[in-house]
């Protein structure tokens, strides 16, 4: 029985007894407790090389087919998380990407507030199966998810047979399967832990959207883009690809990345959380001023409102990296500071576990794009600048701008040469 008080002390004892990864059962649910930062940040170790490789691939894609930038922005984070989870980048035929993306798009649509009538009227859930088509549909979708993630995880297992040194998150789970008493399904996909499928689904979509909002911002605020480019040019000339090594010399760029997270958060409602016990807010339980949160209520932490609070962020609708330049960092670490001063990664206990790796990935992608390209508004046949409607998003829990008209123009032949030369080396 897991004690309700001092649970962490109990977990400490378990970790001394059984090691850094332990599975426990609480209130009918399985939990996996990770005690070693290297397990939580498994996805962290050695990821800079992958970030370089995948952001270079993004630049190459933008040189080769700039009009398809929407697709390239989706591939970049997906391939990164894919490598960390399954030990290899996405296949070039686009099949892996299309499949996992469609799972996530369906998930986002389904968990949006009011997506199903049963979310609004939970009593409908008592109806038998034949009157509850949404239940059969949900089971069907889950089966399909398991099939996709299962296939990927089994491929890792097969590769481990040939390469015993293979390092990736799923390989580590297979190694520990017996010790942790994990079922195959738990390795494929588990909502309760940072496991394969869930990390992939949670990691790729918001990272793509953040990159797309960056492109929109650079097209709408060319003066800001120019300032960032001047800063980059003072550090990296056209024959050197930007790297993390000079991060501290690019404060304006880091502020710009933070401003993208704030200006258009990828998950403006964060992820709604379901309460499994009655709760109260600010010490009140039932007075006219209080908000009573009954068991079964969905709580939405509205990141959008937090980011558009004029007191904290004056002229909040304007994209303005300078607002972050004057703010001191809590930690003093530039990479970590990318996740401070906004709620783009959620808050509290459920804050995004991939935040540091994700923020750095966005940084390298954005800095490298600005180094190599100008992002320009497209003209129509009559020579007028085409409209970008930033309120025109696809429906769902995450904010995805509909395809918008911009051109990626390489800044010089020397920049292109550097990109292609580096590609040839890997
Ligand atoms: C720019 C990129 C990203 C953004 C903006 C982002 C944002 C978020 C947000 C807002 C949440 C919900 C937090 C909450 O419930 O309050 C979340 C959860 C999560 N994120 Fe991220 N994320 C990003 C990238 C990643 C990456 C790269 C990974 C994995 C490698 C990842 C893994 C997860 C997981 C597993 C959860 C679920 C945590 C839970 O339910 O306990 N995320 N993320």
Q: Where do the structural domains in the chain lie, given as residue ranges?
A: 1-35, 36-267+302-425
What's the pLDDT band for 421 if we cut at 50, 70, 90?
A: very high
> Mean pLDDT of all residues in the chain?
80
Binned at pLDDT 50, 70 and 90, residue 181 comes out as: confident
- Give just the sign of the alpha carbon dihedral 85, 86, 91, 96: negative
CA of 204 from ligand 1 middle (Å) equals 9
Residue 190: pLDDT over 60 = no
Between CA 219 and CA 225, with CA 221 as vertex, the angle to 5 degrees is: 85
Pocket of ligand 1 (CB under 6 A): 43, 81, 194, 198-199, 202-203, 206-207, 210, 266-267, 270-271, 344-347, 350-354, 357-358, 362
Confidence of residue 65 (pLDDT cuts 50, 70, 90): very high
Q: How far is CA 17 from the centre of its chain?
A: 34
Average pLDDT in the 17-43 region? 59
pLDDT for residue 146 is more than 90: no
- C-alpha separations of 216 from 50, 73, 284, 337 in Å: 25, 12, 43, 23
Residue 371 confidence (pLDDT) above 90:
yes
* Residue 81: predicted pLDDT: 82
55, two tokens = 């952001």
DSSP reduced 3-state for 349: helix
Write down the pLDDT at residue 259: 97
How much of the chain, in percent, has pLDDT values that exceed 90? Answer: 37
Q: Which atom of ligand 1 is nearest to the CA of 351?
A: 13
Distance from C-alpha of 338 to C-alpha of 355, rounded to nearest angstrom: 9
What's the average model confidence in pLDDT over 249-258?
Answer: 96
Short-list 373, 360, 375, 395, CA closest to 220: 375
What is the predicted pLDDT for the residue at 340? 92
pTM across the whole model: 0.78
Q: What average pLDDT does the segment 198-212 reach?
A: 82
Fold of 36-267+302-425: Cytochrome p450 (1.10.630)
pLDDT value of residue 36: 57
pLDDT at 194: 42
Please give the pLDDT value at position 286.
45
| Structure-model confidence comparison of residues 198 and 230, the more confident one | 230
Residues forming the annotated binding site for heme? 352
pLDDT at 111 over 70: no
pLDDT of 336 higher than 50: yes
| pLDDT value of position 61 | 95
Q: Would you state the pLDDT for residue 82?
A: 80
Segment 4-17 shows an average pLDDT of 67
Which of 265, 352, 362, 364 should be mutated for ligand 1, with most atoms under 8 A from CB? Answer: 352
pLDDT the model gives residue 329: 61
Alpha-carbon gap, residue 390 to 412, rounded angstroms: 29
The pLDDT of residue 124 is above 70: no
Highest mean pLDDT among 130-139, 156-165, 400-409: 400-409
CA atoms of 115 and 109, how far apart (whole Å):
7
Report residue 234's pLDDT band, with 50, 70 and 90 as the boundaries: very high
Q: Is the pLDDT of residue 357 over 80?
A: yes
Say how far apart CA 269 and CA 312 lie, in whole Å: 18
Q: If you measure from the C-alpha of residue 222 to the centroid of ligand 1, how many angstroms do you get, rounded to a whole number?
A: 30
* pLDDT, tens digit, 9 for 90 and up, residues 378-406: 999 999 999 999 888 877 777 889 889 99
Residue 203 · residue 358 · CB < 8 Å: yes
Kindly state the average pLDDT of the residues 92-116: 61
Report the separation in Å between the CA atom of 343 and the middle of ligand 1, taken as the mean of its atom positions.
11
Core vs surface per residue 26-39: b (16+ CB within 10 A) or e: eeeeeebbbbeeeb
**What confidence tier does 112 reach under pLDDT thresholds 50, 70, 90?**
very low
Ligand 1 centroid from CA 101, angstroms: 15
């Amino acid at each position: 029985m897991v004690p309700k008080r001092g649970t962490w002390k109990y977990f400490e004892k378990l970790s001394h007894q059984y090691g850094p990864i332990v599975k426990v059962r609480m209130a009918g649910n399985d939990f996996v407790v990770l005690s070693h930062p290297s397990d939580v940040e498994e996805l962290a170790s050695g990821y800079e090389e992958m970030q370089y490789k995948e952001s270079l691939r993004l630049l190459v894609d933008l040189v080769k087919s700039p009009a398809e930038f929407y697709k390239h922005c989706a591939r970049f984070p997906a391939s990164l998380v894919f490598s960390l989870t399954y030990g290899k980048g996405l296949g070039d035929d686009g099949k892996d990407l299309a499949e996992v993306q469609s799972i996530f798009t369906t998930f986002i649509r389904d968990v949006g507030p009011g997506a199903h009538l049963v979310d609004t009227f939970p009593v409908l859930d008592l109806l038998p199966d034949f009157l509850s088509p949404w239940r059969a549909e949900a089971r069907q979708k889950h089966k399909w998810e398991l099939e996709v993630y299962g296939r990927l995880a089994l491929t890792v297992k097969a590769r481990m047979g040939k390469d015993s040194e293979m390092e990736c998150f799923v390989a580590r789970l297979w190694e520990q399967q017996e010790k942790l008493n994990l079922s195959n399904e738990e390795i494929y996909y588990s909502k309760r832990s940072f496991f394969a499928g869930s990390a992939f689904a949670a990691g790729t979509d918001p990272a793509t959207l953040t990159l797309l909002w960056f492109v929109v911002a650079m097209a709408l605020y060319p003066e800001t883009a120019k300032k960032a480019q001047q800063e980059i040019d003072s550090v990296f000339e056209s024959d050197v690809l930007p790297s993390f090594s000079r991060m501290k010399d690019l404060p304006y760029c880091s502020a710009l990345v933070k401003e993208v997270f704030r200006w258009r958060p990828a998950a403006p409602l964060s992820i709604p959380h379901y309460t499994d016990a009655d709760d109260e807010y600010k010490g009140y339980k039932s007075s006219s001023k209080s908000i009573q949160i009954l068991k079964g209520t969905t709580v939405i932490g509205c990141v959008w409102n937090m980011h558009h609070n004029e007191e904290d962020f004056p002229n909040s609708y304007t994209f303005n990296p300078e607002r972050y330049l004057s703010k001191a960092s809590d930690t003093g670490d530039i990479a970590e500071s990318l996740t401070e001063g906004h709620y783009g990664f959620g808050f509290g206990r459920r804050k995004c576990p991939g935040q540091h790796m994700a923020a750095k990935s966005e940084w390298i992608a954005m800095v490298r794009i600005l180094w190599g390209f100008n992002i320009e508004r497209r003209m129509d046949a009559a020579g007028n600048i085409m409209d970008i409607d930033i309120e025109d998003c696809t429906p769902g829990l995450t904010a995805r701008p509909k395809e918008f008209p911009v051109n990626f123009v390489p800044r010089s032949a020397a920049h292109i040469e550097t990109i292609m030369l580096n590609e040839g080396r890997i």
